[in-house]
Each structure stands twice: as C-alpha cells, then as structure tokens.
Amino acid sequence: MTEYLIFVVDDEKHIRQSIEATMGASFTIKTFETAEIAIERINTLTPDLILLDIGLPGMDGITALEKIKKKNPDIPVIMITAYEDTKTVIKAMKLNAYDYIIKPLQLEDIEITINNALETVRLRKEVKSLQEEQLNQNMPFFICESEAIQDVMAFVKNVSRSPDTPILILGETGTGKELVAKAIHYRSPNSRGPLISINCSSIPKDLVESELFGYEGGAFSGASPKGKKGLIELASGGTLFLDELGDLGLEAQAKLLRFMESGEFYKVGGTTIKKTVTRIVSATNKDLPDLIAKEKFRKDLFYRLGVVTVRIPKLHERQKDILPLSKYFLDMFSKKFNFPFTEMESELEKWMFEHSWSGNIRELKNRIERAVLIGTPPTLRLEDIQTSYDEPIGVAQGIGDITIPACGIDFTGTMENLKTGYIKTALKMAEGNEAKAARLLRLNHHTLRYHIKKLKDNERKG
C-alpha cells in the first residue's frame, strides 16, 4: 500500500488535532500553524497533498498557494475557508488549487476530497514510474559505471527538480546531449507537458523565428492563411530543447532573450503579446565564449541560458562504460536483426579500449550495428567492427626521419605499393586464409576482400 504524506496548515489548533486524530491511521500527517513554516519545510520534505487555510495570520493562504505552486506545481492543494467567499475561492482555483472545503469541517467530506486528490497523485506517480522505466530502457547513455558519468547523472537528478530553470548542455557530437535533455524533462515537474525539440542548424535562418514563435496568417509570402503556433507555444507547460544552439542567428537570439526574460513574445507579423511558461534546455558542441568574442553569440543570452550548465564527458573519458555500452548495443542489434551474437572476442575488447572514439557513443552504436550485420554469430570479432579508415593501434606516433629526394616522389604509387606489400605478406603469413589475414591487418574481412579484388584487377591490367 502506498504511503502518503499530508501537510495541514491551519492556525486553529483544534482543527489540526482533529484532522491528525481522524486520518493519522491512514496517512502520515504533519501540521503547521503558519504558511511560512510549512513552505520552509517543503524545501526538505515534499508532501503528497496540502490542506491550506485561506485566513492565516502572517502570510495568507492565497499568497502561500502561489508560492507552493511556483515551488512544486504538482502538489495538490485543498483550500480551507471559514465562509464561502466566492471571489477568494475563484482566485484560488485560478491558481490551480485542487478543491476547497468550508468550515465547520465535516471530516467525512474531507476524507472523500482527500482520497480523490490522492488518486490523482497515485496516477501521476504511476505515469512517472512508467516514464522512468521507459527512459532507462531506451537510453544507454545511463549505463554508467565510470565516475565521470555518475557525477553527471547525479547533477541531472538535482537540476531536474526545478520546472523552469534554464539548462545548457555542453559536449561533443555523439556524447548524448539530447538524451540528457530527455532525462531532465522526464524527471522534472514538466514531464506532464510536452517535450519539443528543434535543431537550430537544420532550419534556414530566415525561418527560425517563425518556427520558434509562430506567425499570423499571411505574415509573409507562402505563410498559411490560418497562421501557425511556434514551438515555444507548443511546448507550453513542458520543455523546449534547442539543439545546436551555437547556430542560432543573432536576430533570433535577441527575441529568444526577450522571451526568457519576460515569458512574452510576438508571433511573426503579430501585434498581440503572447505569454507562456516553457522551460528552455539547450545544447551545443561549439565554443560559445569563442563565438561571443567573435560577436556571433550574445553574451547576455549565454548567461541567461546557462543558469545551470552540465558538461557531458567524451566516451574515451568514461572508459569503464565502453564495454557495458558495447554489450548493450550488441544485445540490442542482435535482437533487432535476429542474429544470435552472444560475446565479443578479447582482441576486439582490447581494441575498444585503445580506440579514440572521436564520434563518441554515436560512433560506438553505429559500428556495433554494422558489425552485427556483416559478422558471423555467435562471436563479434575485431575484423567485423574495424573499417579501412582506422589506423592500426600500436603504430608509433613518430616514424623517424624521412628523406625525400629533391626531384620528389610518387606518393600515390608508393602508398599503393606499401598496401600491396602488406596484403601479400599477411596472406602469406595466414597461409591464404583471408579471415586470418584480415585480423593481422586489423581490417574487416569484407574490406580486405575488396582490396584483394582491386589488387588482382590492377595486376590483370598491368
């Protein structure tokens, strides 16, 4: 059975005591005589429900309701009033109070109202749990054994608690910035709202403004006569994820800054101010301070977007995660393509630790997918994952002094001769076994076959 925590905020001691005595067996009840104390307590202990008196000394119930909803909009608040003051009740309901009850309190009616509110809480928790499960199942980014990524995940968990604080995610291409944005959204109070994403680099600069803020009918040539809502408006109550932020033009930057400072915006071609609450999460792989120095990015927007900044480590900085991630992808693609791969050879595991992974997790995922398609189950081998573009691991960084004659050299011909020599030597060492020769050259078997065919074709022509 789920346990629920209820805060009762009322300056009348006998009301606090009677609610606690009647419902203490079914719920955990904590009572407060002032709103100030209750709100301070919410910082360290989040209740599932609050019973809040409107006519409190000091901070009144309506002011307290506003502060509670700003701090945590998901907490249902049932207002208590000594008389049915229609204007006050309407104001409370507009501030998203769940319901109201009138003194003198009928405890049986209170219990029905509380149970109805807690059913909403139960359903919300259930949805949250399902979202969390889905998140973990579909986000291999969160396979984290390295300290580098554990620190990031702990940070994400903390910053997700706020419904509106802007967050800037920094990291190289392929490190999982969009996955972090999803984690922030689904772990935040905004998870009940939409998550809308836009890649700032994929939209022509003259259309970014209309995509973000929308436009009125006939605002420009080709515009729909009905107009269009922008992504900021569509993300109302949720999260707008701005990927590739560094590619946003200066004009769009200025309008985005205005929105972030006031929550207000104009549609393109519009004269009416629109207002909405949307959390902005942005990401970039570019050096924003460098863009600021070159006057290509606004400094004030940088500080506004980066109230909280999280930096995603490169894959080679989280070495402990390489094998778990590889095995995750191997299992995923084996099931997807119905190829029964169950293990990776030791040479492949060693190569994975030594490879630079310049494309980060995206490169790892793509390589495993390709390897599963061309490899032979049940063991994934080094030759399956390597490509002709890979430099052999273990080759010295420097190769000593090289002398080039004054007349120059035939570089292309020399490299072809070198490649031919290595292929023939490997085949000789492998006694003609192409798979073994490919492993000696650290090439994919199919890549080696391509080079052998090309070599034979050249010999026939010669």
The pLDDT tens digits for 160-216 are: 888 889 999 999 999 989 888 988 888 888 887 899 999 998 888 778 888 999 999
Residue 394 has pLDDT above 50, yes or no: no
Buried b / exposed e along 340-353 (16+ C-beta atoms within 10 A): ebeebeeebbebbe
> Residue 332 and residue 319: Cα distance in Å, rounded?
21
E strand spans, 227-320: 228-229, 239-243, 264-265, 274-275, 279-284, 308-311
> Model confidence over 189-205: pLDDT tens digits?
888 789 999 999 888 87
Residue 379 has pLDDT above 90, yes or no: yes
446 contacts 389 by C-beta, under 8 angstroms = no
- Average pLDDT on 433-437 reads 83
- Tell me the residue length of the chain: 462
Residues of the chain with pLDDT > 90: what percent? Answer: 42
Which residues neighbour 141 within 8 Å (Cβ) at sequence distance 6 or greater?
149, 176, 179, 180, 183, 361
Closest to 315 (Cα-Cα) out of 306, 307, 303, 324: 324
pTM metric for this prediction: 0.60
Q: Mean pLDDT over all residues of the chain?
A: 85
Closest to 252 (Cα-Cα) out of 271, 269, 235, 265: 265
60 vs 159, residue with greater confidence:
60
48, two tokens? 């599932």
Q: Which amino acid is at 171?
A: G
Cβ neighbours, 10 Å, residue 296: 16
Least confident of 111-120, 231-240, 289-298: 111-120
> Residue 349 and residue 355: Cα distance in Å, rounded?
10
Q: Which amino acid is at 441?
A: L
